[in-house]
Amino acid sequence: MSSSTSLRIDKWLWAARFFKTRSLATNSVELGRVLQNEQRVKPAHAVKLGDQLEIQQGEQTWTVVVLGLSEVRGPAPVAQTLYQETEESKEKRQQRAENRRMQVEPSIHIQSRPTKKQRRQLTHISFD
């Protein structure tokens, strides 16, 4: 962890392992997928201890509070000490995961393509 009081938001997102590369973090911030204290910011905006970040990545959304700053990308256990996810965010993510598990796969009812005989029967039925 660094002793400075602020750090670029894109660098922090990369160091906290929310994004694999810093350029991906920069693009997400530019597209408005990362909010700092409920406001859009630019990639060079400074993150300070205690800031609340809302990070959207695909279908996943995290709401975290910044607990530490680091300019280097370290191992995952160290990166997880840089933030704390809010209880509300954890509940929402778990609920979405449960909903995805409960959804029925649309292709489960499709057996296979009709055979030539079945296709003839389908066209014959539709013209009667």
pLDDT value at position 108? 67
CB under 8 A, 24+ apart: contacts of 73-80: 73/14, 73/15, 73/17, 74/15, 76/17, 79/15, 79/16, 79/17, 80/17
Residue ranges per domain, the chain?
A: 1-89
Q: What is the reported pLDDT for 31?
A: 95
pLDDT < 70 stretches in the chain = 1-3, 106-109, 126-128
pTM beyond 0.85: no
CATH of domain 1-89: 3.10.290.10
